[in-house]
Amino acid sequence: MNRPVAHGAIVLAISLATVGSIVTAQSTRASGTTGGSGRSTLGSEAYAPAAPGAGVPVRSATIESDQAAAAARVIQQPTRIQVGAISLEAEVIPVGVDAKSQFDVPAATTVGWYRYGAAPGQPGASVLAAHVDYGGARGAFYDLSKLEAGDRVEVEMDDGATLQFTVTGVYEIQKHELPAEELFRKDGTPVLNLITCGGTFNPEKHSYNANVVVTAEPADAVSAQGLTA
Amino acid sequence: MLSTATTPVPATEATTVTTVTVPTTEATTVTTVTVPTTEATTVTTPATAAPTVTTAAPAPATSAAPLVPESGMAASQAAVQVLHGVPGAEVDVYVNGKALTTGFNTGEIAGPVTLTPGSYDVALFAADARAPESSSDRTDEPIVEQNVAVGADPATLVAHLNDQGQPTLTAFKEDLAPVAPGQSRVVLRNLMADGPVDASVNGSIVGSIGAGQEVSAVVPAGTAKVEFVGDDGKVLTTANVTVGDGELASLSAIGAPASSTAQIVIERFTGLSTAPAGVPTGDSGLLGLDDDQTGLKLVFGLMIVLALSGGVVAFRRQRSSWS
């Protein structure tokens, strides 16, 4: 394993020669032998025209290194939500989907965080959903549609941090037109989507024909770019 | 170019993990890792449909190899990774005569590189510290050299031992077809120097696969126990793998069980996820009956209050003007 790495180090040494630091190249070689990532590869530009000059990355695919990488990823989870403008304060629990592949919205006054999506504040969409009403009583998100752009949403995380979000939009969307892939997107700029029901109630189906969607973005990002909603 | 049998495994969230006692024979390599989640002792039964097994298409024998891909063809190019599954052999990898990576070790992945669909000449040489950039400048013989077909889909090119224990190259297309929300896909490949093995997930046999073959299963996101079991019932290699929603984990059993070099290597792919089918968040109709009318009442109430207070003010003004 050492020899080809040394080859890479020679390339490095040449490129670093202008800086005059062979010592740096040597230490790079030393670190390259442990991880296998900082290694230089040859001829890769011929196969990757989109990124000329980029080396072919090499990494370990063993179960052990995969597990180590997974263990290094710590995901904070939301535990509470507070929205002063509508006097909302509720517990948040992680949920998945039900047997119909629908959002497994928790009962009554608890808010569900879609645990297959992003955590609040992380890249992608973090989705919190709660009932507007449940079993004849008001649900946690009963007043969600009364929110307005600029209102503040606070989310407490399980590490004790409180994340601040600013409402950027309030929408009522027919359920059959709900842009679910966008509302639940896995990457992109961080957004917090709060979802409940709205529109017209169908007593026979015991359900509403629309969803109310409130979008919110990290407060510092909104104040930096201005409210555009 | 190749298809994979997909067997949905029951989608209970509690699906984990048959605790299997692993025989501790020398020939058995167990890659057991710490189980991150709680262990339920629920045994899941396999789905009824018996999976069919497809052999990965071997490299065609043609030598019509388009050379370096032209630029501006990104739409038709495939992301290809190279996986080293030959035990104990550090190699230099050449594609169409040019060094792709050198000093490449067992259990490592190189790439992805973008390749235009076509046939590529892939050669592995024993690692040489002075590996020349062109394989034509080498004086030694390659360990293995094959033409490998690359399609337009993401794929993994694996160097592994065949069932005779000889190094060979096989290209596998990665199945990134969407899965239902909360689900993931695991693909199990038998790339060991051994005969057919039973590939099992969470205690259920997904398929019996010969060397160079693969099976796949859709499982709930979470931790899955993956086992490759020999025909004598011996677990050749096993691992607990956590796979996220909308993720693909391609798990290749590599090495030679007879020499205790069998192990599982993993590649992860994302982008299979789909959003929930809906967000059912109301069942009582309070919003329609209660809230709208409350709103109206509020408006009327406010008007009455305003009217009254206006009247009072007017009345007071009158009073004050009188006094």
Round to whole Å and give the CA distance between A147 and B173.
48
For residue A203, give the nearest of B101, B278, B285 by CB distance.
Answer: B285
pLDDT at B323: 32
pLDDT at B163: 86
Chain B, 263 to 292: residues with Cβ < 8 Å from chain A are 263-268, 270, 273-289, 291
| Pairs across A and B, CB distance < 8 A | 232
- For residue B68, give how far its alpha carbon lies from the nearest alpha carbon of chain A (Å): 6
**Planar angle of CA B3, B257, B29, nearest 5 degrees:** 100
* pLDDT reading at A31 higher than 80: no
**Average pLDDT for residues B244-272, to the nearest whole number?**
95
In a 3-state reduction of DSSP, which class is residue B10? coil
Q: Comparing B1-5, B159-163, B214-218, B243-247, which segment has the lowest mean pLDDT?
A: B1-5
- For residue B71, give how far its alpha carbon lies from the nearest alpha carbon of chain A (Å): 6
Preferred mutation among B83, B287, B290, B294 to probe A, highest tally of A CBs within 10 A: B287
pLDDT at A55: 63
* pLDDT reading at B99 higher than 60: yes
* pLDDT reading at A47 higher than 80: no
pLDDT at B76: 76
- For residue B321, give how far its alpha carbon lies from the nearest alpha carbon of chain A (Å): 43
From chain B, the residues in CB contact with A201 under 8 A are 282, 284-285, 287-289
Residues 6+ apart with CB under 8 A from B45: B10, B204
Round to whole Å and give the CA distance between B174 and B80.
10
To which H or E segment does residue B286 belong?
helix B286-286
Q: Residues of B224-260 as b/e, b for ≥16 C-beta within 10 angstroms?
A: bbbbbbbeeeebbbbbbbbbbbbbbbbbbbbbbbeee
Share of chain A above pLDDT 70, in %: 73
Preferred mutation among A11, A60, A63 to probe B, highest tally of B CBs within 10 A: A63
The pLDDT-based confidence of A221 (bands split at 50, 70, 90) is confident
The pLDDT-based confidence of B207 (bands split at 50, 70, 90) is very high
Q: Does B65 touch chain A (CB under 8 A)?
A: no
Phi, psi of B236 (to 5 degrees): -80, -40
Q: Does B136 touch chain A (CB under 8 A)?
A: no
| Amino acid present at B81 | Q
Contact A197 B68 (CB under 8 A): no
pTM over 0.95: no
Phi, psi of A228 (to 5 degrees): -110, -5
Q: Does B312 touch chain A (CB under 8 A)?
A: no
pLDDT at B95: 95
- Is the pLDDT higher at B220 or at B305? B220
Q: Does B177 touch chain A (CB under 8 A)?
A: no
Report the residue of chain A nearest B285, measured CA to CA: A201
Preferred mutation among B30, B284, B289 to probe A, highest tally of A CBs within 10 A: B284
Contact B68 A47 (CB under 8 A): yes
pLDDT digits (tens, 9 = 90+) for B222-251: 999 999 999 889 999 999 999 999 999 999
To which H or E segment does residue A39 belong?
none
Dihedral in degrees, nearest 10, Cα atoms A83, A86, A88, A92 = -60
**Token reading at A46:** 């011929």
pLDDT at A35: 36
**Average pLDDT for residues B120-148, to the nearest whole number?**
94
Round to whole Å and give the CA distance between A47 and B67.
9
Q: Cα-atom radius of gyration of chain B, to the nearest Å? A: 31
The pLDDT-based confidence of B287 (bands split at 50, 70, 90) is confident
The pLDDT-based confidence of A222 (bands split at 50, 70, 90) is confident
From chain B, the residues in CB contact with A63 under 8 A are 31, 33, 239, 241, 263-266
pLDDT digits (tens, 9 = 90+) for A64-98: 999 898 888 888 999 999 999 999 999 999 999 99
